[in-house]
Amino acid sequence: MRVTVYFDYVCPYCLLAETVINRAQAAANTAVEIDWRPFELRPHPVPTLRPEDTYLPKVWRQSVYPIAAQLGVPIRLPSASPQPRSTKAFELFCMASDRGIGNAYNLAVLNAFFRDDLDIGDPEVLADIAASVGLNRSEALAALADGRYTTRHQAALVEAIEHRIQSVPTIVIGRHVFRGMPDVGAMASALLCSEAAISA
């Protein structure tokens, strides 16, 4: 069963959604493969958010922290100001995907930002993250420097726009589309419906 997830590394709900997906597949008693697809919330030159402004603390206080507490997921508002762009992180995602460790890399980046408070816009930090999941650190730095994955990442963004993706996480399970934080029960039902459709 394939679950397509459009995501951005600077969206805390994308980290939380991974736990929801895991619980939904357990509830549905079916195995899923997550197909991660990039969607930048604030591509250049759109300004990124600042944690000292009122918007981020309010959203985290009213929504992110309560959901994280319900799910039992440790998370905190990153201190980087302004928040980093996710372009370079996505470029290394292309490399990780080619090596079959895209899922591990994505979770490592999300955890580095939302748990370890690391600047995922810094190439050195990204190279360390890449190395932690099995990529060659020097090769990762070289890829960021020469932009070998830039065109491929930009093509993925165009594809997301063509699929009318406007927010993250957007999760697609067969004909079911969840925009924003999904409910475990609703997602489990979608998995079961899609599995039945495939088997029919």
- Which residues constitute the domain of residue 178? 1-39+165-200
Asked if 95 and 137 sit in the same domain, the reply is yes
What tens digit of pLDDT does each residue of 113-128 get? 999 999 999 999 999 9
In a domain, 58, yes or no: no
Residue 198 has pLDDT above 80, yes or no: no
Residues 95 and 124 placed together within one structural domain of the fold: yes
Among 52-61, 142-151, 191-200, which stretch is predicted with the lowest mean pLDDT? 191-200
- Name the pTM for this structure: 0.95
- Look at residues 32, 9, 10 and name the one whose alpha carbon lies nearest to residue 194: 32
Q: In terms of domains, do 149 and 176 share one?
A: no
Residues 89 and 137 in one domain: yes
Based on the fold, state whether residues 125 and 175 are members of the same structural domain.
Answer: no
Query: Do 32 and 91 fall into the same domain?
Result: no
Residue 35: per-residue pLDDT: 95
User: Average pLDDT over the chain, rounded to whole?
Assistant: 95
Asked if residue 102 and residue 200 are part of one domain, the reply reads no
pLDDT digits (tens, 9 = 90+) for 15-26: 999 999 999 999
Cβ atoms of residues 32 and 2 within 8 Å: yes
